[in-house]
Amino acid sequence: MKAYRASLLRFDEDSGAPLFDDDGLLVIGPDANGRAVVRAAGVHGALIGRFPGVAVEDLRGQLIAPGFVDMHIHYPQTDVIGAPAAGLLPWLEQYTFPHESRFHEPAHAREVARFFFDELARNGVTTALTFSTSHPASADAAFEEARARGLRFMTGKVLQDRHSPDGVRDQTEQSLIDTEAGIRRWHGVDRLGYAITPRFAPTSTPAQLRGAGELAAKYSDVWIQSHVAENRDEVRWAMELFPDSRSYLGIYEDFGLLRERAVYAHCIHLSQADRERMAATGAVAAVSPTSNLFLGSGFFDYQAADAAGMRYGLASDVGGGTSFSPFRTMLAAYVVGREGQTKAGLSLTPGQLWWQHTAGAARALGLDGVVGNLQPGCEADFVVLNPRATPLLARKTAQANSLDELLFALIVLGDDRVVSRTVVNGR
């Protein structure tokens, strides 16, 4: 067992409200299976007597918080960040597909995966639902690297058997064989999970989507990840290709791809009926504000999502997204929440933004109580944050008179410099 004394941020498991202990204690120890979990968390003075003899590392002056959960990111697009293009479809064609075509080479995939996981750690991200490329070797490289680092991590080989250039286009039958082999090889190994990954409806034939839906029914606890309703040209194209479906989201529903643990990036140009279908089926949105701002895709409608009761959380969507940093993503989400705001007050509070990138994201992924929080029983993934990481942050956080003011200073001014340590699986 090991304990840490610092300020401590957690979230109420029911309401999602932030819980803050100025002088807190976090106690980590093995569970019955030998996995490092939170044994206790709360006020130092109230807890310390229960743990005589346990080594306590003194981190007073710093803030311990749950490791961030990124609901949607593309590891093969690490080198695509900041690519200038007119919008989503030209961006895919001109930059993304050419970059992704290199991932049939295992050595290239491994090198990028290593850099990617280093970057996640530097930014305090401890769990990510991640796209690989259409090459099975790309998913294998990411799984191998994540396993070596002890991460809770999900990915899958991308499915795209049409409207894709040579080098990334796969073959219908083989793509489904490879997906099932990936599920059997990786899903549930250590902390890894498989995600069935149709890129988006326009690049899959009906046969490929049907096969993906059959696998999703057969393996009900694997994840599904895709993109939907990101960009108006994309929506129009999807509807031309699937004229019998009720809507773009309806395409996925028609093929059995809306269920719990189905994660759809963007969800911008949805109807209210679509949002209600997401709520009813348990499918969730990965809100990707830096990507949507960079590619000019539009603004996620938080109020409409809440009215429908659909679940969502935050995502970087690197390389459409412009930063690995959860702080950059939370700030962009705040700005997006301001757009179209009709009610008075803050659109999103700092506590809500932080929850959406930790416990809220975990809940949306079906990992409630597993990651994204520091309540007893949660896996021991956390970050140590330095509120004085820059001169301006030191000045600002010293003046914070409330938790909201402290968290907002970190969200607005913070980046990788704030993350002084990232702990995964207790290490």
Rounded Cα gap, residues 132 and 155, in angstroms = 6
Binding mask 201-240 for ligand GUN (x = CB under 6 A): --------------------------x--x----------
Give the total of residues touching Zn ion (CB under 5 A): 2
Among positions 234, 317, 379, 415, the unique one binding Zn ion when judged by CB under 5 A: 317
Q: Which is nearer to Zn ion, 24 or 321 (CB)?
A: 321
Binding mask 71-110 for Zn ion (x = CB under 5 A): ----------------------------------------
Region binding Zn ion by CB under 5 A among candidate stretches 159-167, 248-256, 313-321, 330-338 = 313-321
Rounded Cα gap, residues 272 and 200, in angstroms = 21
Rounded Cα gap, residues 12 and 190, in angstroms = 27
Among positions 101, 133, 290, 291, the unique one binding ligand GUN when judged by CB under 6 A: 291
CB of 189 to ligand GUN, least distance (A): 26
216 binds, among ligand GUN, Zn ion, none (CB under 5 to 8 A by kind): none
CB of 198 to ligand GUN, least distance (A): 10
Q: For the beta carbon of residue 142, count every other beta carbon within 10 angstroms.
A: 31
CB of 204 to Zn ion, least distance (A): 15
Amino acid at 241: L
Q: Which is nearer to ligand GUN, 72 or 363 (CB)?
A: 72
Rounded Cα gap, residues 124 and 161, in angstroms = 35
Does position 228 interact with Zn ion (CB under 5 A)? The reply is no
Closest CA to 348 of 358, 337, 332, 359: 337
186 binds, among ligand GUN, Zn ion, none (CB under 5 to 8 A by kind): none
Among positions 6, 109, 151, 265, the unique one binding Zn ion when judged by CB under 5 A: 265
Instruction: Give the tokens for residue 121.
Output: 């750690």
Contact present, 425 and 380 (Cβ < 8 Å): yes
Place of tokens 């140009």: 269
Rounded Cα gap, residues 76 and 99, in angstroms = 8
379 binds, among Zn ion, ligand GUN, none (CB under 5 to 8 A by kind): none
Region binding ligand GUN by CB under 6 A among candidate stretches 41-49, 88-96, 211-219, 300-308 = 88-96
First to last CA, the chain: 12
Does position 317 interact with ligand GUN (CB under 6 A)? The reply is yes
Rounded Cα gap, residues 161 and 207, in angstroms = 9
Per-residue DSSP letter, 180: H
Does position 74 interact with ligand GUN (CB under 6 A)? The reply is yes
Contact present, 61 and 94 (Cβ < 8 Å): no
Among positions 24, 313, 320, 372, the unique one binding ligand GUN when judged by CB under 6 A: 320
CB of 131 to ligand GUN, least distance (A): 7
Rounded Cα gap, residues 372 and 388, in angstroms = 24
Does position 199 interact with ligand GUN (CB under 6 A)? The reply is yes
Cis peptide before 319 (omega within 30 of 0): yes
Rounded Cα gap, residues 425 and 148, in angstroms = 12
Give the total of residues touching ligand GUN (CB under 6 A): 11
Among positions 7, 62, 96, 101, the unique one binding ligand GUN when judged by CB under 6 A: 96
Closest CA to 76 of 47, 98, 54, 52: 98
Q: Which residues bind Zn ion (CB under 5 A)?
A: 265, 317
Q: Which residues bind ligand GUN (CB under 6 A)?
A: 74, 88, 92, 96, 199-200, 227, 230, 291, 317, 320
